[in-house]
Amino acid sequence: MTSLPLATSFLQAENFIYVLYIVAFALFIQGLRGLSGPTTAVRGNRIAAVGMAIAVVATLLIPSEGNWGLIALGIALGTAVGIPAARNVKMTAMPQMVALFNGVGGGAVALISWVEFRHYGSTYGSLAIPLTNQPVLGDTFHPAIPTYVAIFSVFAAIVGSISFWGSNIAFGKLQEVIPGRPISFGSAQQAVNLVLLILALAAGIDLVAGAHSELLFVGMLVVAALLGNAVVLPIGGADMPVVISLLNAFTGLSAAATGMALNNPALIVAGMIVGASGTILTNLMATAMNRSIPAIVAGGFGGGGAVAGAQGAGEHAGTVRSTSAADAAIQLAYASHVVVVPGYGMAVAQAQHAVRELAIELEKRGVDVKYAIHPVAGRMPGHMNVLLAEADVPYDQLKEMDEINPDFQRTDVSLVIGANDVTNPAAKNTPSSPIYGMPILEVADSRSVIVIKRSMNPGFAGIENELYFDPKTAMLFGDAKSAVAEITAELGQL
Amino acid sequence: MLASVLTTNLAILVLAGFIGFVVISKVPNTLHTPLMSGTNAIHGIVLLGGLLLLGFSGLDGLSKALLVIAVAFGTINVVGGFLVTDRMLDMFKSRPKPAKPAEQPAEEQRAEPKDEPGTGEGA
C-alpha cells in the first residue's frame, strides 16, 4: 500500500505469498507430528502456532488487502476474548472450552461464506469462464466465478452453521446451562432432522444453480442452524466425546471448503488435516463405545437406555455393601497392586489432586499404583489424561484399556472414582443391555473393588451397574474429592 | 495438458487428507485432548478467509460487520486454541520437582486451579 515500493514489489509477489503459505502448512504438519509423544508435544504446538503466524502475515501482505482498521478491530476483539478464556479455564472445563472454540471457528466459516455470497453470489449459476482462468489470491475475481466455487462456498456455509450451533449446544450441555439429558422430539426426531437436512441441501442447490436471493442464503444458514441444534440436543452427556470430535471434523472440512472457494492452499491443507483428525477421533470414540456414528447422531441412546436400565434394575435385587473411608484406607494400605479407575465424577468433583495425594501416600507404603483410562472416560477424548497430568501424575502410570485389562486379575484393589458405564460387566454379560458389546475396563476381575460414588443413581446411559452388587465390591458414598481426601487422612493415621 | 486451479486444489485437498490420517494416527490416546484443542486452533485458519475478503473492494456495511465478527471469531479460535493447548501440554512434561515449571516464558504462567466442590457424577 504505502510502504517502500521496492520491498513491496518483492514481498507482495504472488509466488512469495504462496511460498509463505506452503511454509505455514508444512509447519502445521511438522507441529502435529510432535504430538506423537508427550516430550515433543509442547514444541510441536508452538511450531504449529508459528505456522499460523506466518499464514496470517502472508495474507496481510496480499496487495489488495485493505480495511486495516477493521482487521485490527477484529483481531483485537478476538485476542481480548481468546487469551483470558484460554488462560483462566480450568482443566476440568476443557471439553466446554474446546466446544466453544470449535463453535466460533464454524461460525467464522459460515459468516465468510455469507459475505462471499453477498460479494459475488449474483454470478452463481453462470459458467462464463473456463476453470483455468480462475485468478489467484485477492480481489481479482472475474465477473462470473466457476460453479465449483459456489458449491464449496455453500457447503462451507451449511457445515459451518451446523458446527457453530451444534458446538454451542454441546458447550451449553457441558457447562450445564442446558440439561445434559437428551432433549428430543421423540420418535419424530429423525424425521425432523431429515427434513431440515433436505431443506438445507435444496436451498444450497438452488443457490448454486443461480437463485440470486440473499434471503434464501440466510434461510439456508438458519435451517442449518436448526439442524445443528436438532442433532446435538438429543445427545446425552456420555456421548459427548463422539459429538465434540465430530463437530471438530465438521469445522475442519468446512474450513477446507472455504479454502477451495477462496483458492487458498493454507486453508485447504489446514482444514483437511483437522477434518482427518476429527474423523479419526470420532471413529475411535464410537468404537470405544461400540456404537455406530449414525446411531449416535440419530440420537435416542439416553432415552432407550433408561427404559432398558429400569428393567435391568429389577433383575439385580442383590444388596449393596457400603464401606467407610477408614475401612477403605485399611484395604488399600494392605494391598500391593492398586488400580485407580477415574471417570467423569472425578472431573466434576475436581478430585484429581486429591487422587494424586492418595497415590503418593500409598506409594510411600510400597503399594504399586496405576491408573486405568477408558478411551471415553469423561467428556472428550483423553479427558482423564489431561486432568491427571495436571495433578502431576507421571504419564507412564496411565494405562490404556487394552494394556491394563489383563492386569486386573493381579490387582488387589480397584478404586473406581466416579466412573460407571465403562466398568459395567453388563457390557460383556447381558446381551439385552444397551451397552452390550462396549469394551470395558475389567474391574470385576480384580480381587476387590471400592467404588466412590455420590449415590446409587445410574450414569448418563441410565443403566444399572452390576458391579455394585458384586459381593467383592464396597461402595463409598460421597463426593469424590472429599471421599478421597478422607481416605488419605485415614491412611496417615494407620 | 493444463491443470486447472480446481484440479490442483483438489490434489492438495486429497493429499492433505492422507497426510492428516497418517500423522494423526500416530498420536497416542494420552494426548487426544491436546490434539483436539491443537487441531481446533489450526482450523482457526479460517481467519485468513475473513482477512482476504476484507481486502475486497465494494464491501457494504453489513459485509464489513460480518467480516469483523468472522475475524474476531477466527482469532478467538487461533489464539485461544494454541494458548490452551500449550497450557495443557506443559502439564504433560515430566517434572522432577512438582510446581517448579520455572523454565517456561512468562506467557505460559498458569492460573492456579481453583478447587470447587463437586456437583455431580456420571459415566
pLDDT digits (tens, 9 = 90+) for A381-393: 888 998 999 899 9
User: What's the rounded Cα separation, in Å, for the pair A240 and A246?
Assistant: 10
User: What's the rounded Cα separation, in Å, for the pair A410 and A408?
Assistant: 5
* Residue A369: predicted pLDDT: 94
Give the residue from chain B lying closest to A117, CA to CA.
B63
Q: Do B115 and A278 touch (CB under 8 A)?
A: no
For the CA atoms of B12, B13, B18, B22, the dihedral, rounded to the nearest 10 degrees, stands at: 90
* Residue A302: predicted pLDDT: 41
Residue B6: which of A39, A146, A454 has the nearest Cβ?
A146
Residue B30: which of A70, A111, A398 has the nearest Cβ?
A398
B46 touches chain A (CB under 8 A): yes
Region of A437 please: left (phi>0), alpha (psi -120 to 50) or beta: left
Rounded to 5°, the CA angle A277-A281-A287 comes to 150
Domain end point (choices A299, A327, A347): A299
Q: Which of A405, A293, A417, A407 is nearest to A343 (CA)?
A: A417
How large is the average pLDDT for residues A471-482?
A: 91
A403 HSE (CA, 13 A, CB side): 15
Query: pLDDT category, A8, cuts 50, 70, 90?
Result: low
Which CATH number covers residue A428? Answer: 3.40.50.1220
Q: Do A111 and B114 touch (CB under 8 A)?
A: no
Considering only residues A247 and A429, tell me which one the structure prediction assigns the higher pLDDT: A247
Considering only residues B70 and A464, tell me which one the structure prediction assigns the higher pLDDT: B70
Region of B6 please: left (phi>0), alpha (psi -120 to 50) or beta: alpha
* Residue A65: predicted pLDDT: 84
Give the A window 88-117 contacts with B, CB below 8 Å. 88-91, 94, 97-98, 101-102, 104-105, 107-109, 111-112, 114-116
A353 contacts in B (CB within 8 Å)? 113, 115
* Residue B62: predicted pLDDT: 94
A382 touches chain B (CB under 8 A): yes
Shared-domain flag, residues A289 and A350: no
Residue A41: which of B34, B43, B78 has the nearest Cβ?
B34
pLDDT value at B97 more than 50: no
C-alpha cell recorded at residue A224 = 442449518
* Residue A136: predicted pLDDT: 47
pLDDT value at A311 more than 60: no
pLDDT value at A157 more than 70: yes
Sign of the Cα torsion A208, B45, B70, A168 reads positive
pLDDT in tens, A55-74: 999 999 988 888 899 999 99
Q: Determine which of A1-15, A233-247, A263-277, B40-54 has the lowest per-residue pLDDT on average.
A: A1-15
What is the per-residue DSSP string for A162-191?
A: HHHHHHHHHHHHHTTSS-SS----GGGHHH
Q: Tell me if A225 is assigned to some domain.
A: yes
Rounded to 5°, the CA angle A53-A56-A57 comes to 85
User: What's the rounded Cα separation, in Å, for the pair A250 and A278?
Assistant: 8
Residues 6+ apart with CB under 8 A from A336: A366, A367, A368, A412
pLDDT in tens, A356-399: 999 999 999 999 999 999 988 888 888 899 899 989 998 889 99
Query: pLDDT category, B95, cuts 50, 70, 90?
Result: low
B53 contacts in A (CB within 8 Å)? 112, 115-116, 119, 262
Shared-domain flag, residues A62 and A146: no
User: What's the rounded Cα separation, in Å, for the pair B51 and B47?
Assistant: 6
Q: Do B40 and A274 touch (CB under 8 A)?
A: yes
pLDDT in tens, A107-129: 999 999 999 888 877 777 665 44
Q: Tell me if A304 is assigned to some domain.
A: no
* Residue A308: predicted pLDDT: 37
pLDDT value at A135 more than 90: no
A478 contacts in B (CB within 8 Å)? none
Q: Which of A285, A33, A242 is nearest to B29 (CA)?
A: A285
Q: Tell me if A305 is assigned to some domain.
A: no
Shared-domain flag, residues A113 and A174: yes
Q: Which of A260, A150, A253, A270 is nearest to B6 (CA)?
A: A260
Burial readout A421-443 (b: 16 or more C-beta within 10 A, e: otherwise): bbbbbbbbebeebbbeebbbbbb
Domain end point (choices A63, A88, A113): A88
What is the C-alpha radius of gyration for chain A, rounded to an integer number of angstroms? 26
Shared-domain flag, residues A106 and A46: no
* Residue A448: predicted pLDDT: 93
* Residue B36: predicted pLDDT: 92
Shared-domain flag, residues A290 and A381: no
Q: Do B121 and A420 touch (CB under 8 A)?
A: yes
Shared-domain flag, residues A329 and A199: no
Shared-domain flag, residues A316 and A249: no
B11 touches chain A (CB under 8 A): no
Sign of the Cα torsion A56, A62, A68, A70 reads negative
Phi, psi of A166 (to 5 degrees): -60, -45
How large is the average pLDDT for residues B111-123?
A: 40
Q: Which of A323, A360, A336, A331 is nearest to A494 (CA)?
A: A331
* Residue A9: predicted pLDDT: 63
For the CA atoms of A199, A200, A205, A206, the dihedral, rounded to the nearest 10 degrees, stands at: 70
A255 contacts in B (CB within 8 Å)? 43, 45-46, 49
What is the C-alpha radius of gyration for chain B, rounded to an integer number of angstroms? 20
Q: Do A382 and B33 touch (CB under 8 A)?
A: yes
Domain end point (choices A88, A112, A145): A88
**Number of domains into which chain A is organized:** 3
* Residue A3: predicted pLDDT: 43
Taking the CA of residue B25 and the nearest CA in chain A, the distance in Å comes to: 7
Domain containing residue A169:
95-299
What does each C-alpha distance from A111 to A72, A220, A278, B16 come to in angstroms? 18, 12, 22, 25
How large is the average pLDDT for residues B89-101?
A: 60
Give the B window 56-95 contacts with A, CB below 8 Å. 56-60, 62-64, 66-95
Q: Are B4 and A131 in contact (CB under 8 A)?
A: yes
pLDDT value at A181 more than 50: yes
For residue A315, which amino acid is it? E
Query: pLDDT category, A458, cuts 50, 70, 90?
Result: low
Q: Tell me if A295 is assigned to some domain.
A: yes
Axis-axis angle for helices A265-288, A14-34 (nearest 10) = 20
Q: Which of A247, A227, A234 is nearest to A96 (CA)?
A: A247
B46 contacts in A (CB within 8 Å)? 105, 108-109, 112, 254-255, 258, 267, 271
Instruction: Determine the straight-line distance between the first and last CA of chain B, rounded to whole angstroms.
Output: 58
A136 touches chain B (CB under 8 A): yes
Query: pLDDT category, A347, cuts 50, 70, 90?
Result: confident
Shared-domain flag, residues A286 and A336: no
* Residue A5: predicted pLDDT: 46
B5 contacts in A (CB within 8 Å)? 131-132, 134, 136, 263
* Residue A332: predicted pLDDT: 94
Question: What are the beta bridge partners of residue A373?
Answer: A400
Query: pLDDT category, B98, cuts 50, 70, 90?
Result: very low
C-alpha cell recorded at residue B101 = 515449571
B105 touches chain A (CB under 8 A): no
Q: Tell me if A220 is assigned to some domain.
A: yes
Q: What percent of chain A has pLDDT over 90?
A: 52
Which helix (H) or strand (E) segment is A374 a member of?
Answer: none
**Helix residue spans in A263-400 (DSSP H):** 265-288, 293-298, 301-315, 325-333, 344-348, 352-364, 383-390
Q: Do B52 and A138 touch (CB under 8 A)?
A: yes
Q: Tell me if A318 is assigned to some domain.
A: yes
Shared-domain flag, residues A338 and A378: yes
* Residue A258: predicted pLDDT: 94
A308 touches chain B (CB under 8 A): no
User: What's the rounded Cα separation, in Å, for the pair A391 and A357?
Assistant: 9
Q: Determine which of A35-44, A160-169, A333-342, B101-110 has the lowest per-residue pLDDT on average.
A: B101-110
How large is the average pLDDT for residues A165-175?
A: 92
Axis-axis angle for helices A480-493, A352-364 (nearest 10) = 20
A146 touches chain B (CB under 8 A): yes
Q: What percent of chain A has pLDDT over 70?
A: 88
User: What's the rounded Cα separation, in Å, for the pair B79 and A83?
Assistant: 6
pLDDT value at A18 more than 80: yes
Shared-domain flag, residues A355 and A471: yes
A265 contacts in B (CB within 8 Å)? 9, 12
Shared-domain flag, residues A102 and A49: no
How large is the average pLDDT for residues A393-413?
A: 91
Query: pLDDT category, A179, cuts 50, 70, 90?
Result: confident
Q: Do B68 and A266 touch (CB under 8 A)?
A: no
pLDDT value at A303 more than 70: no
* Catalytic residue (one of A239, A421, A470, A479): A421
C-alpha cell recorded at residue A58 = 502472508
A421 is catalytic: yes
How large is the average pLDDT for residues A221-248?
A: 89
Query: pLDDT category, B94, cuts 50, 70, 90?
Result: low
Residue A386: which of B42, B62, B88 has the nearest Cβ?
B88
pLDDT value at A44 more than 50: yes
Average pLDDT, chain A: 85
Q: How many CB pairs under 8 A join A and B?
A: 455
Q: Determine which of A65-69, A187-191, A339-343, B73-77 has the lowest per-residue pLDDT on average.
A: A187-191
How large is the average pLDDT for residues A254-279?
A: 93
Q: Do B49 and A37 touch (CB under 8 A)?
A: no
Give the A window 239-298 contacts with B, CB below 8 Å. 244-245, 248, 251-252, 254-256, 258-260, 262-278, 280-281, 284
Prediction pTM value: 0.84
Rounded to 5°, the CA angle A371-A373-A374 comes to 150
Shared-domain flag, residues A370 and A434: yes
Predicted ipTM of the assembly: 0.85
* Residue A242: predicted pLDDT: 87
A33 touches chain B (CB under 8 A): yes
B53 touches chain A (CB under 8 A): yes
Query: pLDDT category, A318, cuts 50, 70, 90?
Result: low
A353 touches chain B (CB under 8 A): yes
